[in-house]
Amino acid sequence: MPGFEAFGEEERKQVHDVLESGVLMRYGFDGMRNGHWKAKEFETAFAKRMESNYCQLVSSGTSALTVALAAAGVGAGDEVIMPCFTFVASFESIMMLGAVPVLVDIDDTLTLDPEAVKAAITPRTRCVMPVHMCGSMADLKALKAICKEHGLLLLEDACQAIGGTFEGKPLGSYGDLGCFSFDYVKTITCGEGGGIITNNKQYAINSDQYQDHGHDHVGNDRGAETHPTLGYNFRISELNAAVGIAQLGKIDSILARQKKNYTVMRNVLSEIEGVTFRRVPEGGVENYSFLNFFLPNEELTKKAHAALSAEGVDACFYWFSNNWHYIHGWEHLRNLKSLGNLPSEIKKQIQDLNTTDFSKSDAWMSRTISSLVKIGWSENEIQARADKMKTVISSLLKKEYSL
Ligand SMILES: Cc1ncc(COP(=O)(O)O)c(C=O)c1O
């Protein structure tokens, strides 16, 4: 995702402000900082852009998920339902609190299947965590209704879908809490960073305190602040936040460019019989960071992925067999490999991830190719790329079907 493609003068200027004062920390040093409060400035602007009352910046998307869960009171033994297609961070953020990840199937949206969520609810369930993978969203309306019926939290992981919307609301703002990543390969980047949005004042206060050792941030003497509860250090630095301010200023032009390039590719691939596209739930608008499409079966998809790469079409992913994003590749997580002893709640409650049946998800993932959408492609380049993808895929399909 292209934030790094858009790095330029604006980011340099913002970072320079921080370097000039030398105040790299977001708290304190009031007299030295030349009036620059980069983290606070980003939080205010981001909350506004995301149409939410509160934003808390933290050190990464992974920390954002952990802090959001903690802020809402999720702790040891609480179950959090998450999809089996996501980045490992979802799993890690839950485990960090001694809570228990419950992995369930995805559907043709490539995100949480609401029916699978319903089937996984137990008396210990506290939270449902949809992950809006590759630029598009889960069926949030259905998930919200389930959460309401069972008194559960809805926490959106919108790390890969910033700028998308559902029923007119920015993704991340539809549930109780929403999380974003600003790492180097996200739609907008801070280098490293993450953000939490919410309309719940208490969750906002809890996030603020939890990400900074429990500090209450009252007054202007850090040493005299009280600590209402236990917290840790998930703070963002002023340098990272400064980059984010400049990137946030570019978000709408990045999204517009993504949409344009996505549309060229999609229109061309739509002409191929046998290619279909991921379902976007009614009411949803993607952020167009990826074009996700299905081929008729696993074998053809593998061949198409290899052929695209051999023909020099870069940035096409076959998640089904990589080690990042799908349960199959997570040998260390399936076998709970950890440096130290894990909390007893996790060991006692977690499902056997080696034997859980994810065949419904396999059926979608084994047929999915995701093409990244870059913003740096010129009109000629994106057209040439789309045409090449069409030639490669349609010749493969013709060959296979005539066999
Ligand atoms: C869906 C999802 N959630 C969470 C994260 C974690 O973000 P970070 O790398 O900032 O910790 C990522 C990062 O790739 C992600 O893709």
Among left, alpha and beta (phi > 0; psi -120 to 50; other), residue 48 is alpha
Residue 1 clears pLDDT 80, i.e. is over it: no
pLDDT score of 309 more than 80: yes
| pLDDT value for 384 | 96
Q: Is 201 a catalytic residue?
A: no
Q: Residue 122 has which token pair? A: 């137990």
Atom of ligand 1 nearest to the CA of 181: 10
Which pairs with CB-CB distance under 8 Å and at least 24 residues apart come from 324-329? 324/87, 324/88, 325/85, 325/86, 325/87, 325/88, 325/133, 326/84, 326/85, 326/361, 326/365, 327/84, 327/85, 327/103, 327/353, 327/358, 327/361, 328/362
Each residue's pLDDT tens digit, 37-91: 999 999 999 999 999 999 999 999 999 999 999 999 999 999 999 999 999 999 9
Q: What are 109-165's pLDDT values in tens digits? A: 999 999 999 999 999 999 999 999 999 999 999 999 999 999 999 999 999 999 999
How far from 333 is each of 69, 97, 325, 372, CA to CA, in Å?
20, 16, 12, 26
Protein residue with its CA nearest to atom 14 in ligand 1: 87
| CA 403–ligand 1 middle distance (angstroms) | 42
195: Cβ contacts below 8 Å, ≥ 6 apart = 43, 46, 55, 56, 57, 58, 64, 179, 180, 182
pLDDT at 402: 65
* Secondary structure percentages of the chain, helix, strand, coil, to 5: 45, 15, 40
pLDDT band at 180 (very low <50, low <70, confident <90, very high): very high
What is the Å distance from ligand 1's center to 240 Cα? 16
Residues framing ligand 1 (Cβ under 6 A): 60-62, 86-87, 89-90, 131, 157, 159-160, 181, 183, 194
Torsion-angle region of residue 180: left (phi > 0), alpha (psi -120 to 50) or beta?
beta
pLDDT at residue number 399: 85
Task: Determine the average pLDDT of the residues in 297-316.
Answer: 95
Ligand 1 center–CA 157 separation, angstroms:
9
Average pLDDT over residues 262-281: 97
Shortest-distance atom of ligand 1 to CA 60: 10
The DSSP letter of residue 281 is P
pTM of the predicted model over 0.75: yes
Looking at the predicted structure, is the pLDDT value of residue 403 above 60? Answer: no
Q: Check residue 39 and report its DSSP letter.
A: H
CA of 21 to the centre of ligand 1 (A): 31
Residue to mutate (ligand 1; options 57, 65, 160; most atoms within 8 A of CB): 160
312: exposed, middle or buried (Cβ count in 10 Å: 0-12, 13-18, 19+) = exposed
**Residue whose CB lies within 8 A of the most ligand 1 atoms, among 58, 62, 69, 88, for a mutation test:** 62
Please, which pLDDT band fits residue 5 given cuts at 50, 70 and 90? confident
Q: What percent of the chain has pLDDT over 70?
A: 99
Distance 378 CA to ligand 1 centre (A): 28
Task: Please give the number of the atom of ligand 1 that sits closest to the Cα of 193.
Answer: 10
Please choose from 82, 87, 184, 287 the residue to mutate so as to test ligand 1's pocket, defined by most ligand atoms within 8 A of CB: 87
Residue 205 has pLDDT above 80, yes or no: yes
CA-closest residue to ligand 1 atom 3: 159
Selecting among 38, 144, 186, 250, the annotated active-site residue is 186
Span 219-259, pLDDT tens digits: 989 999 999 999 999 999 999 999 999 999 999 999 999 99
pLDDT of 339 above 60: yes
Ligand 1 atom 8: residue of nearest CA: 61
* Tens-place pLDDT, residues 376-400: 999 999 999 999 999 999 999 988 8
Strand partners, 101: 80
Span from the CA of 181 to the centroid of ligand 1 (angstroms): 6
Instruction: Evaluate the CA torsion angle 65, 69, 75, 79 in order and state its sign.
Output: negative
